[in-house]
C-alpha cells in the first residue's frame, strides 16, 4: 500500500512538472520579450505648473480647433498623485463627452534635434505618415492607466483615438476618420486600472483626414447620463515588442518610399538626404524597428530605464532649492538651483541616493549645480549661511545711460513681440531721455489692447548706447551671454509718474538683435509693487540668479545675441482695466540701469568657460581682444578682465571717486555758459548750457584737467554741448565768435555715408543703395504693403543752426513711373508741406525750407503722394544750405563752403596731422564686403612720379565694378588703429589739405572723413578735379576747413581715417598726395618751375659717306654688311664728345683689334670718362649669315620677336618670352648743350691734330734712331 501511494505521488509530481514546463518556458519567453516605447503622452512635457491647460497643440492658429470645439476640459495634476496625470472632465451637456490631450512634442520638434548621428524625439517623423502606423498596427500596443471617479458607479465606455492635424472633431468623427487605439467598458471605479492591448484599428488611406503630426490623443465617453464624470489618464504610451522585430521590418520595407520619410529616415527638411548612422540590420539595410524603438531612451515610461523621484528636502529658512525635475531617468542630468535670501549664501548642498550615499553635484553657475540621476530615489537639501563678503568689488560690464541720448529722439525701437526690431518700428508709446542730476529714460506705454493675445499692453526695446560696437563687444557672443546669466545682476531705479488707474506688472530684461528669437527676462515687478502704489518716488531693483536654460532666457543661437545692447521693459496685465491704453497711459522712468559682475566670480567664470571649451564667436573687436587676453590666478584665460574693462567707462561704477567741475568762462559779449553738474563721477555726462548772444556762435570749448591736458567734447546739439567726465578735476572754458555770412551747409546726408552711420533711413518698405546714372549713390525706396513716410538721417550743423528766409534744400530725385508723381517734404512736426513733381528722369530740386524748419534738422522726411505697393522713389544728395543758391551748381556750392581765402596767415603755421603718408608704415586698405568679391579699387606707390619730394599714391578704379560699393581707406602713418592727435585747438584756423592729379577735367572723387570718438561721424567730401585750377605739373590743391568738419559733427580729437568710398563711376586714374592737417594758413607756394623739354640726341652717328651700315639707337643694334672690318666701322663713326672711346668684344668678352672682321656675336661698347654709356649688338646682313633679326630692305631692325628687358614703345613692360638675340644693358640719352646743332655731326679737327701729332712724334723718333745708328757705324769704322 505504501508503495502504491508512493507510486501515485511520484506520477502526480511528474505530471505537475510536465504541465508546468510549458508555462515556465512561456514565462521565460515573456520575460525576455522586451517592450519599447515608440510614443508617449507625458504631462511633464506639457506643463510643469499644476492645473495648467493642456489644450490641443497649435490652438492659437485659425485652421486648428480651439477650446470651443472641445467642450470637455483637460488639465494637468501633480499634487497628490504618485505620477503626474491628465485630468479629463466630462459632463452631460451636448458634445461635452469629448476631450483632447497634448503629448508634449511634435514629430519634427525643431531643427536642433537634426544632429547627424542622433536619433531622438526629433526623429518621430513616422507620426506624419499614416501608412507607417497602418502597416505595423498589428504589432503595436497601446498601454496606459485609467482612473474613473464616479460616485454613481456607472459603467461607461471609453474610446481612445489619434487626433490628426487639421481635424475638426465637431464636424468629423475621429474614430472613423483617424482610427481607434482602444475601446472598452470600464467596470472598475475609483481605482487605477492598467491597460495594454493591441491597436484596435487605423483608418484606410482614402478615409484619412490628415497626418498625426501633432500627436494629440482624443478621448470620448459614452454612458454619462445626466451627471458629470472625471477620468484620469497616466503613463500613456505606444509600445512594440522585440519578438516582432523581424515582422515590423518586413512590414515597413513594403511601405512605398520608406527610406524617404522626412524626420524618420531622412532629415526633416529633405526627403533626399538620408540621416547618417541609422541602425542597420544584418543585410545593411535600415533597421526600421530600431529607428522606432530609439524613442524608448527618451521616454519616462520605458520599462528598460529606471525612473526615480527627486525629493526637495531643504528646510533652511535662509534660502530655498528649486529642482529642474521631480522625476528623472537614470543617467540623465538634473539641475538644482539654490536661492539664498538677501544677506545669505550657500554653505553646503547635499544630494543623496536611497541608500544615503552622496551623489556628486558639479557647479554649473553661480547658484546652479548639476548631478547625474542614479538608479534610485534622490534627496536634495541645502544649508545657507550669512554672507559677510560686503567688500566684494563690483564691476559694471554694461549700462543703459540716458545721458547718451539727451536731446535725441528715436530711442525706442519697436514692440519686440510683433516683428523684427530693425524693420517694423511700431512704437508702444514714447521714450525720452530727460536731463537731470542723474538722467533717466521716460517711457510712456499707451498701446491699446493686448498684443498677440497675451495680455501685454506694450513692450519697449530701448537703446542703451552701449553695444557690441560701442564699448561692450562681449554682447555679440551668445555663448558668453548665456554663460554669464547665472552670475549677472541687473540693477536700476524706477518710478511711476502718471496718475492713471491701470496697475500692470512689468517685465524687465535684455532684448536681442532680432526680437523673434527670444530675450533674457531678468525679473518681474509685480502689480502690487510700490512702483504702482508709491508713485513719483524712486525705487531700487536688483534681479539676479538667472537660469540660462529657462524659456524666458533662451536666445536663438544665431540671431539671439544682444549685440545692439537693447534693454526691454513691458507693461502688461491679463485684466483689461490694468492694461496701458491711450485713455489710461502708464509712464515709467528708468535710470541707473546696469549689469554687474562681482570680483569673487572671476575664477569661477573663467573656469566654467575653460571647462566648457569656450571659443570666442562674436564681433571682430571681441574675438581680437580674446586672442591677447591674459591668464587668471588659476592659469585660465581671464575673460573676466575683458568684461570688467567697461567699468572704467561707466558712470554707474562704484569704484571711482567724485571730482569737481569748474566753470572757467567769464561772461562776455559773445555769451556765457552754465554747467549741469558741479560734482561728478568719472564717465558721467556733463551738459554745458550755451548762452550765446545774437549774432554770435560757439567757437571752441576746452575741458582742461588738473595736469593741463584736455578731454574732448563729445557732441554739440543746439544750445548744449556734452562731454564725459574724466577721472580728474576739470575746468570748462568756452569762446564765441561773430557769425559769418559765408555759405554754410546746415544739413547733409549722402547714401553711402549714411549706410555706415548709426541710423539708416526709416522706411517701412525695401531700401537699397544704387547708382544714380553713374554720377553718385542714391537710395531706392520700394513701397510695400505698409505705405509710410521716408525719413533720411544725416549730419546737422552744430555751429550754424539758424534757418533763414532764403535757406533751401537741394536734392536729386526721380520715380519709376512714366506719369508725373508728387513728392512731399514734411516739416519736423508734419504740419507743413512742400511739394515737388517727379519724373522718371533724374532732376535737381531746390526747395525753400524756412516754413518747414526753424533750426537745422537732423533728418528729412518725404512722402510720396498717393503711394501704392511697388511704387519706387529714388532720392540722393540731400543738403540744406544757409542761403539761396540758384546761380550755383551742386559742386560749386561745396567749393564755396570750403573756401579758406579769407583765412589770415599765421606765424605758427605747422603740420598738426597726417593720414595716408606714402612714406609711412601703413598701406591703404581696401574694404571687401564679400570674400568672393574681387578688388574694386587698385592702388600702388607711384615711385616713377615725384610730388614735393615724395612719391604719391596711384589710384586705379576698376570700371567693371561700378554700381557696387567700393572703399579704399587711408590711415594714420604708423598704425591702422591710431587716431590723429587732438586738433580741436585749431578748429577755427586749421584745415585739411591734399592734392589730386588726373587727365580728366571735371572728374569727381567721393571721399569720406571718419572720426572714432564718442560721437562717431562720417563726413562725405565730393572733390571735383578742375584742370584750370591745377598747377603746371597737373596737381590740384584741395583744402577743407576744420571748422566745416567740426560743424558737421566730426570729432577733431579722434580723426582716424579718410576713405575713397562710393558707388559711382570714376572714369580715370588719379594721383593722390598724403592728407595733411595744418594749424593755420601759410603763404602760397610758388608754382613749380617746369623745365623746357629736353632735346635728345644720341652718343654717335654714322657717316654714310665713309661706311655703309645703319644704327638703331632705340633697340641698340648696329647693322653691318657681311665681311666688314672693324677699322671700316670705326672710320664711319661720328662722336658728340671728345672723351668718348669704343671697345668691341666677342662673345667671350675679349677685346678685338681693328683688323678683325665683325661677326654677329660681337658687341660695341661706348665709354665716356671710363664709364659705360651704351652697348650695341652687332648685326650682320648678307650671305652666308641668316637674318635672325628680320632686317628689312631699308636696313631698320625689327625687334618684334625679341624680348625687351626694359620697356615697350608704349612704356609698358614686355611680356613676350621669345628667345632674344639682343642684350640691352642700358640706354642713355645725351642732352645737347645750348649753342650746338644736332645736325653738325662729329668734329674731326681734334682727331686730325692728334694724328698729326702722333706722326710728328713718330718721325722725330725715327730720325733719332737713324742718327744713332749712323753714329754707331762711324764708331765701328773708327775702330
Q: Is 113 exposed, middle or buried (0-12, 13-18, 19+ CB in 10 A)?
A: middle
- Where residue 813 falls among pLDDT bands split at 50, 70, 90? very high
pLDDT of residue 104: 66
For the ranges 362-366, 539-543, 644-648, 938-942, the lowest mean pLDDT is seen at 362-366
pLDDT for 402 beyond 90: no
Q: What is the DSSP letter of 637?
A: B
Read off φ and ψ for residue 296, nearest 5 degrees.
Answer: -55, -35
Q: Which residue in 5, 224, 237, 268 sits closest to 101, CA to CA?
A: 237
Residue-wise pLDDT for 221-238, tens only, equals 888 777 788 889 999 999
Domain membership flag for residue 109: yes
**Would you say how long the chain is, in residues?**
1279
CA-based nearest residue to 564, from 551, 574, 576, 555: 555
Mean pLDDT of 410-425: 44
Is 569 part of a structural domain of the chain?
yes
pLDDT of the residue at 1013: 61
pTM score: 0.54
In a domain, 1277, yes or no: no
Q: For 829-879, what is each residue's pLDDT tens digit?
A: 888 899 999 999 999 999 999 999 999 998 999 999 999 999 999 999 999
The confidence score (pLDDT) of residue 69 equals 35
pLDDT-derived band at 152 (thresholds 50, 70, 90) equals confident
**Which DSSP symbol is given to 1274?**
H
Whether 1 maps to a domain, the answer reads no
Of the candidate ranges 61-65, 589-593, 945-949, 953-957, the one whose mean pLDDT is the lowest: 61-65
Predicted confidence at residue 1076, as pLDDT, reads: 95
Q: What is the pLDDT of residue 1194?
A: 34
Checking if the pLDDT of 1211 tops 60, the result is no
Question: 32: closest CA among 294, 319, 245?
Answer: 245
**How high is the pLDDT of residue 1095?**
61
Q: What is the residue whose three cell numbers read 505620477? A: 83
Q: How many CB atoms lie within 10 A of CB 1172?
A: 13
Q: Are 1139 and 1168 contacting, i.e. CB atoms less than 8 angstroms apart?
A: yes
**Sorting pLDDT into bands at 50, 70 and 90, what band is 641?**
very high
Q: How many CB atoms lie within 10 A of CB 195?
A: 18
Total domains in the chain come to 7
Q: What is the pLDDT of residue 467?
A: 84
Matching residue, cell 571649451: 613
Task: Please count the CA atoms within 13 angstroms of the CA of 1232 that sit on its side-chain side.
Answer: 17
- Whole-number Å distance between alpha carbons of 890 and 913: 29
Q: What is the pLDDT of residue 1274?
A: 53
Contact 844, 772 (CB under 8 A): no
CATH at 1037: 2.60.120.430
Is 977 part of a structural domain of the chain? yes
Considering the domain architecture, whether residues 208 and 157 belong to the same structural domain is answered as yes
Query: Which of the four pLDDT bands, split at 50, 70 and 90, describes residue 139?
Result: very high
Give the residue among 899, 893, 869, 865 at the shortest CA–CA distance from 881: 893
Residues 640 and 509 in one domain: yes
Helices marked H in 612-742? 620-627, 639-644
Does the residue 1276 lie in any domain? Answer: no
Query: Distance (Å, rounded) from C-alpha 1060 to C-alpha 752?
Result: 11
> Does the pLDDT at position 1276 exceed 50?
no
Q: What is the model's pLDDT at position 678?
A: 85
Q: What are phi and psi of 126, to 5 degrees?
A: -60, -20
Same domain, 376 and 287: no
pLDDT of residue 303: 85
pLDDT > 50? residue 90: yes
CB 474 within 8 A of CB 614: no
Model confidence at 94, in pLDDT bands (50, 70, 90)? low
Which CATH number goes with the domain that contains 328?
2.60.40
pLDDT at 565: 86
- Rounded to an integer, the average pLDDT of 102-107 is 67
Residue 1048 and residue 1101 in one domain: no
* In the block, residue with C-alpha cell 571681441: 622
**Distance in angstroms (rounded) separating the CA atoms of residues 97 and 218:** 11
Q: Is the Cβ–Cβ distance between 790 and 873 less than 8 Å?
A: yes
- Stretch (H or E) spanning 1120: strand 1117-1121
Q: What pLDDT sits at residue 547?
A: 57
Q: Provide the percentage of residues in the chain whose pLDDT is more than 90.
A: 28
Tell me how far apart the terminal alpha carbons of the chain are, to the nearest angstrom.
191
pLDDT at 365: 65
Percentages helix, strand, coil for the chain, rounded to the nearest 5? 15, 35, 50
- Average pLDDT, integer, range 150-177: 74
Tens-place pLDDT, residues 458-495: 677 788 888 887 789 998 888 888 888 888 889 999 99
The residue out of 623, 649, 675 marking a domain boundary is: 649
Is the confidence at residue 783, as pLDDT, over 70?
Answer: yes
CB 567 within 8 A of CB 462: yes
For 788-817, what is the mean pLDDT? 91
Residue 1070 has pLDDT above 90, yes or no: yes
Q: Which of 558-572, 743-757, 952-966 has the lowest mean pLDDT?
A: 558-572
DSSP state letter for 1227: -
Instruction: Please tell me the predicted confidence (pLDDT) of residue 1115.
Output: 84
Quickly tell me which residue has 536666445 as its cell: 555
Condensed to tens digits (0 to 9), the pLDDT of residues 573-619 reads 878 888 887 788 888 999 999 999 988 889 888 988 998 889 998 88
What pLDDT band is residue 1220 in, cutting at 50, 70 and 90?
very low
Q: 10 Å Cβ neighbour count for 1240?
A: 10
The verdict on 356 and 409 lying in the same domain is no
Whether 810 and 881 have beta carbons less than 8 Å apart is answered as yes
Q: Is the pLDDT of residue 457 over 80?
A: no
What percent of the chain has a predicted confidence (pLDDT) above 70? Answer: 76
**pLDDT tier, 26 (very low <50, low <70, confident <90, very high otherwise):** very low
Cell of 845: 530740386
Residue 862 and residue 887 in one domain: yes
- For position 1011, what pLDDT does the model report? 86
pLDDT at residue 1268, as a whole number: 65
Q: Which of 624, 649, 674 is the last residue of a domain?
A: 649
Give the model's pLDDT for residue 933. Answer: 67
Class of residue 500 by CB neighbours under 10 A (exposed 0-12, middle 13-18, buried 19+): middle
Q: Which residue, among 126, 389, 414, 408, has the nearest Cα to 258 in the 3D structure?
A: 126
* pLDDT of amino acid 245: 94
Which of 700, 794, 686 lies closest to 748, judged by CA?
A: 794
Greater confidence (505 vs 7) lies with 505
Q: How confident is the model at residue 278 (pLDDT cuts 50, 70, 90)?
A: confident
902 and 892 share a domain? no
Instruction: State which of 738, 760, 795 marks the end of a domain.
Output: 738
HEC-encoded secondary structure of 358-409: ECCEEECCCCEEEEECCCCCEEEEEEEEECCCCCCCEEEEEEECHHHHCCCC
Please tell me the least confidently modeled range out of 11-25, 80-94, 793-807, 1174-1188. 11-25
Q: Are residues 1073 and 1105 in the same domain?
A: no
For residue 6, tell me if it sits in a domain.
Answer: no
pLDDT band with cut points at 50, 70 and 90 for residue 1205: very low
Q: How many CB atoms lie within 10 A of CB 1046?
A: 25
Q: Looking at 839-965, which runs of residues are DSSP E strands?
A: 843-848, 859-864, 872-881, 911-915, 925-926, 937-941, 953-957
Neighbours of 831 (CB within 10 A): 8
Instruction: Examine the pLDDT at 763 and tell me if it is beyond 60.
Output: yes
Please, which residues have CB within 8 angstroms of residue 431's CB and are 6 or more apart in sequence?
411, 412, 441, 442, 443, 444, 460, 462
Compute CA distances 256 → 129, 211, 285, 289, whole Å: 11, 16, 15, 17
Residues 910 and 892 in one domain: no
d(CA 506, CA 493): 13
pLDDT at 1253: 66
For 653-712, what is each residue's pLDDT tens digit?
A: 888 888 999 999 888 889 999 988 888 888 888 889 899 999 899 998 989 999 988 888
- Where helices occur in 1058-1107 by DSSP H, the ranges are none
Most confident region among 294-303, 891-900, 1214-1223 by mean pLDDT: 891-900
Same domain, yes or no: 240 and 368: no
Task: Retrieve residue 1130's grid coordinates.
Answer: 670705326
Q: Is residue 433 pLDDT above 60, yes or no?
A: yes
pLDDT digits (tens, 9 = 90+) for 529-538: 999 999 999 9
* Mean pLDDT lowest among 108-117, 293-302, 839-848, 1270-1279: 108-117
pLDDT at 168: 55
Identify the domain containing residue 691 by its residue range: 659-738
Task: Write the pLDDT tens digit of every residue in 200-217.
Answer: 988 875 444 467 777 888
Q: Which long-range contacts (CB under 8 A, 24 or more apart) does 784-789 make?
A: 784/869, 785/869, 787/867, 787/868, 787/869, 788/763, 788/764, 789/762, 789/763, 789/826, 789/861, 789/862, 789/863
Residue 1232 grid coordinates: 645737347
Residues 765, 803, single domain; the answer is yes
Band (pLDDT 50/70/90 cuts) for residue 1128 is confident
Looking at residue 380, its pLDDT comes to 94
Q: Is a pLDDT exceeding 50 seen at residue 72?
A: no
Record the cell numbers describing residue 415, joined without a space. 514692440
The one-character DSSP state at 1235 is T
Is 12 domain-assigned?
no
What is the model's pLDDT at position 593?
Answer: 93
Q: What is the mean pLDDT of the chain?
A: 78
Q: Are residues 329 and 411 in the same domain?
A: no
Amino acid at each position: 500500500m505504501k508503495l502504491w501511494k508512493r507510486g501515485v505521488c511520484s506520477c502526480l509530481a511528474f505530471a505537475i512538472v510536465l504541465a508546468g514546463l510549458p508555462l515556465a518556458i512561456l514565462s521565460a519567453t515573456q520575460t525576455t520579450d522586451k517592450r519599447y516605447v515608440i510614443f508617449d503622452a507625458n504631462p511633464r512635457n506639457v506643463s510643469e505648473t499644476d492645473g495648467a491647460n493642456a489644450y490641443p497643440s497649435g490652438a492659437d492658429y485659425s485652421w486648428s480647433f480651439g477650446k470651443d470645439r472641445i467642450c470637455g476640459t483637460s488639465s494637468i495634476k501633480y499634487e497628490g498623485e504618485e505620477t503626474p496625470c491628465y485630468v479629463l472632465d466630462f459632463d452631460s451637456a451636448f458634445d461635452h463627452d469629448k476631450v483632447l490631450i497634448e503629448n508634449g512634442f511634435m514629430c519634427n520638434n525643431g531643427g536642433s534635434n537634426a544632429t547627424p548621428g542622433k536619433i531622438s524625439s526629433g526623429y518621430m517623423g513616422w507620426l506624419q505618415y499614416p501608412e507607417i502606423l497602418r502597416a505595423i498596427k498589428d504589432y503595436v500596443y497601446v498601454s496606459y492607466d485609467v482612473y474613473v471617479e464616479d460616485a454613481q458607479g456607472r459603467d461607461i465606455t471609453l474610446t481612445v483615438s489619434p487626433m490628426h492635424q487639421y481635424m475638426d472633431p465637431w464636424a468629423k468623427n475621429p474614430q472613423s476618420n483617424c482610427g481607434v487605439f482602444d475601446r472598452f467598458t470600464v467596470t472598475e471605479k475609483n481605482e487605477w486600472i492598467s491597460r495594454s492591448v493591441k491597436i484596435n484599428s487605423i483608418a484606410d488611406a482614402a478615409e484619412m483626414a490628415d497626418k498625426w503630426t501633432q500627436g494629440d490623443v482624443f478621448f470620448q465617453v459614452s454612458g454619462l447620463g445626466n451627471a458629470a464624470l472625471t477620468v484620469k489618464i497616466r503613463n500613456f504610451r505606444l509600445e512594440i515588442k522585440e519578438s516582432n522585430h523581424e515582422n515590423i521590418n518586413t512590414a515597413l520595407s513594403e511601405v512605398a518610399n520608406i527610406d524617404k520619410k522626412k524626420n524618420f529616415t531622412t532629415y526633416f527638411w529633405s526627403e533626399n538626404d538620408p540621416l547618417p548612422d541609422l541602425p542597420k540590420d544584418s543585410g545593411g539595410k535600415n533597421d526600421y524597428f530600431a529607428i522606432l524603438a530609439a524613442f524608448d531612451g527618451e521616454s519616462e515610461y520605458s520599462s528598460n530605464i529606471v525612473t526615480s523621484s527627486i525629493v526637495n528636502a531643504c528646510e533652511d529658512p535662509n534660502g530655498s532649492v528649486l529642482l529642474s525635475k521631480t522625476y528623472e531617468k537614470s543617467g540623465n542630468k538634473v539641475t538644482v538651483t539654490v536661492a539664498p535670501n538677501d544677506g545669505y549664501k550657500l554653505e553646503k548642498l547635499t544630494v543623496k541616493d536611497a541608500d544615503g550615499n552622496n551623489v556628486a553635484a558639479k557647479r554649473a553657475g553661480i547658484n546652479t549645480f548639476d548631478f547625474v540621476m542614479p538608479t534610485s530615489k534622490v534627496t536634495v537639501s541645502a544649508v545657507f549661511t550669512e554672507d559677510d563678503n560686503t567688500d566684494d568689488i563690483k564691476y559694471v560690464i554694461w549700462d543703459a545711460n540716458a545721458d547718451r541720448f539727451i536731446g535725441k529722439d528715436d530711442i525706442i525701437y519697436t514692440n519686440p513681440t510683433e516683428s523684427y526690431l530693425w524693420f517694423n518700428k511700431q512704437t508702444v508709446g514714447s521714450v525720452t531721455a530727460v536731463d537731470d542730476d542723474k538722467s533717466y529714460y521716460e517711457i510712456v506705454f499707451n498701446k491699446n489692447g493686448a498684443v498677440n493675445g497675451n495680455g501685454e499692453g506694450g513692450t519697449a526695446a530701448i537703446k542703451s548706447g552701449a553695444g557690441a560696437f560701442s564699448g561692450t563687444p562681449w554682447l555679440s557672443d551668445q555663448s558668453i551671454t548665456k554663460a554669464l546669466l547665472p552670475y549677472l545682476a541687473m540693477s536700476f531705479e524706477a518710478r511711476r509718474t502718471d496718475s492713471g488707474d491701470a496697475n500692470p506688472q512689468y517685465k524687465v530684461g535684455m532684448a536681442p538683435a532680432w526680437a523673434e528669437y527670444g530675450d533674457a527676462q531678468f525679473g518681474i515687478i509685480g502689480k502690487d509693487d510700490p512702483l504702482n502704489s508709491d508713485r513719483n518716488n524712486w525705487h531700487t531693483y536688483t534681479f539676479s540668479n538667472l537660469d540660462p536654460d529657462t524659456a524666458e532666457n533662451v536666445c536663438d543661437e544665431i540671431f539671439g545675441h544682444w549685440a545692439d545692447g537693447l534693454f526691454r521693459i513691458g507693461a502688461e496685465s491679463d485684466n483689461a482695466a490694468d492694461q496701458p491704453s491711450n485713455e489710461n497711459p502708464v509712464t515709467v522712468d528708468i535710470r541707473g540701469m546696469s549689469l554687474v559682475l562681482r570680483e569673487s566670480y572671476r575664477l569661477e567664470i573663467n573656469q566654467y568657460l575653460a571647462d566648457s571649451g569656450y571659443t570666442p564667436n562674436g564681433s571682430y573687436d571681441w574675438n581680437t581682444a580674446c586672442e591677447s587676453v591674459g591668464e587668471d590666478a588659476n592659469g585660465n584665460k581671464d575673460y573676466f578682465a575683458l568684461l570688467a574693462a567697461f567699468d572704467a567707462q561707466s558712470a554707474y561704477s562704484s569704484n571711482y571717486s567724485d571730482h569737481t567741475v569748474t566753470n572757467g568762462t567769464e561772461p562776455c559779449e559773445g555769451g556765457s555758459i552754465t554747467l549741469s553738474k558741479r560734482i561728478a563721477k568719472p564717465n558721467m555726462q556733463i551738459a554745458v548750457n550755451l548762452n550765446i548772444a545774437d549774432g554770435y556762435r560757439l567757437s571752441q570749448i576746452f575741458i582742461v584737467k588738473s595736469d593741463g591736458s584736455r578731454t574732448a567734447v563729445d557732441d554739440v546739439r543746439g544750445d548744449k554741448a556734452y562731454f564725459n567726465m574724466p577721472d580728474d578735476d576739470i575746468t570748462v572754458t568756452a569762446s564765441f565768435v561773430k557769425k559769418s555770412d559765408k555759405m554754410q551747409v546746415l544739413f547733409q546726408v549722402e547714401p553711402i555715408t549714411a549706410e555706415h552711420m548709426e541710423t539708416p533711413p526709416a522706411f517701412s518698405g525695401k531700401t537699397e543703395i544704387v547708382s544714380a546714372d553713374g554720377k553718385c549713390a542714391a537710395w531706392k525706396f520700394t513701397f510695400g504693403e505698409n505705405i509710410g513716410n521716408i525719413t533720411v538721417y544725416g549730419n546737422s550743423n552744430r555751429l550754424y543752426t539758424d534757418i533763414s528766409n532764403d535757406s533751401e534744400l537741394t536734392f536729386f530725385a526721380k520715380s519709376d513711373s512714366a506719369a508725373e508723381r508728387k513728392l512731399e517734404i514734411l516739416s519736423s512736426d508734419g504740419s507743413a508741406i512742400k511739394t515737388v513733381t517727379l519724373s522718371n528722369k533724374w532732376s535737381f530740386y531746390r526747395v525753400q525750407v524756412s516754413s518747414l524748419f526753424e533750426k537745422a534738422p537732423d533728418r528729412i522726411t518725404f512722402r510720396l503722394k498717393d503711394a501704392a505697393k511697388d511704387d519706387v522713389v529714388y532720392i540722393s544728395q540731400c543738403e540744406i544750405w544757409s542761403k539761396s543758391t540758384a546761380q550755383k551748381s551742386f559742386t560749386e556750392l561745396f567749393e564755396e563752403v570750403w573756401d579758406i581765402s579769407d583765412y589770415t596767415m599765421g606765424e605758427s603755421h605747422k603740420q598738426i596731422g597726417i593720414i595716408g603718408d606714402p612714406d609711412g608704415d601703413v598701406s591703404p586698405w581696401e574694404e571687401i564686403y564679400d570674400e568672393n568679391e574681387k578688388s574694386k579699387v587698385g592702388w600702388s606707390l607711384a615711385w616713377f612720379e615725384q610730388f614735393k619730394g615724395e612719391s604719391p599714391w596711384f589710384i586705379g578704379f576698376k570700371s567693371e565694378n561700378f554700381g557696387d560699393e567700393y572703399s579704399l581707406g587711408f590711415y594714420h602713418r604708423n598704425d591702422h588703429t591710431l587716431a590723429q592727435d587732438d586738433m580741436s585747438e585749431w578748429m577755427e584756423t586749421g584745415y585739411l589739405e591734399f592734392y589730386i592729379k588726373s587727365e580728366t577735367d571735371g572728374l569727381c572723387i567721393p571721399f569720406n572723413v571718419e572720426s572714432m570718438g564718442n560721437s562717431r561721424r562720417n563726413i562725405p567730401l565730393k572733390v571735383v578735379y578742375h584742370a584750370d585750377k591745377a598747377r603746371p605739373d597737373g596737381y590740384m590743391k584741395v583744402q577743407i576747413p576744420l571748422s566745416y568738419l567740426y560743424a558737421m559733427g566730426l570729432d577733431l580729437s579722434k580723426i582716424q581715417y579718410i576713405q575713397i568710398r562710393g558707388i559711382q563711376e570714376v572714369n580715370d586714374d588719379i594721383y593722390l598726395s598724403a592728407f595733411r592737417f595744418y594749424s593755420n594758413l601759410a603763404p602760397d607756394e610758388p608754382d613749380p618751375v617746369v623745365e623746357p623739354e629736353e632735346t635728345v640726341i644720341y652718343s654717335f652717328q654714322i657717316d654714310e659717306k665713309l661706311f655703309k651700315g645703319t644704327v638703331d639707337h632705340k633697340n641698340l643694334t648696329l647693322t653691318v654688311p657681311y665681311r666688314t672690318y672693324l677699322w671700316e666701322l670705326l672710320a664711319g663713326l661720328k662722336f658728340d664728345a671728345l672723351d668718348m672711346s669704343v671697345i668691341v668684344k666677342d662673345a667671350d668678352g675679349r677685346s678685338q683689334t681693328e683688323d678683325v672682321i665683325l661677326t654677329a656675336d660681337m658687341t660695341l661698347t661706348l665709354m665716356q670718362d671710363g664709364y659705360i654709356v651704351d652697348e650695341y649688338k652687332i648685326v650682320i646682313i648678307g650671305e652666308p649669315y641668316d637674318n635672325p633679326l628680320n632686317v628689312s630692305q631699308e636696313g631698320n631692325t625689327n625687334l618684334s620677336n625679341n624680348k625687351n628687358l626694359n620697356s615697350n614703345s608704349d612704356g609698358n613692360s614686355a611680356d613676350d618670352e621669345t628667345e632674344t638675340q639682343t642684350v640691352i644693358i642700358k640706354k642713355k640719352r645725351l642732352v645737347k648743350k645750348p649753342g650746338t646743332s644736332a645736325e653738325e655731326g662729329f668734329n674731326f679737327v681734334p682727331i686730325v691734330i692728334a694724328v698729326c701729332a702722333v706722326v710728328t712724334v713718330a718721325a722725330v723718333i725715327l730720325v733719332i734712331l737713324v742718327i744713332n745708328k749712323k753714329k754707331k757705324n762711324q764708331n765701328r769704322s773708327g775702330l
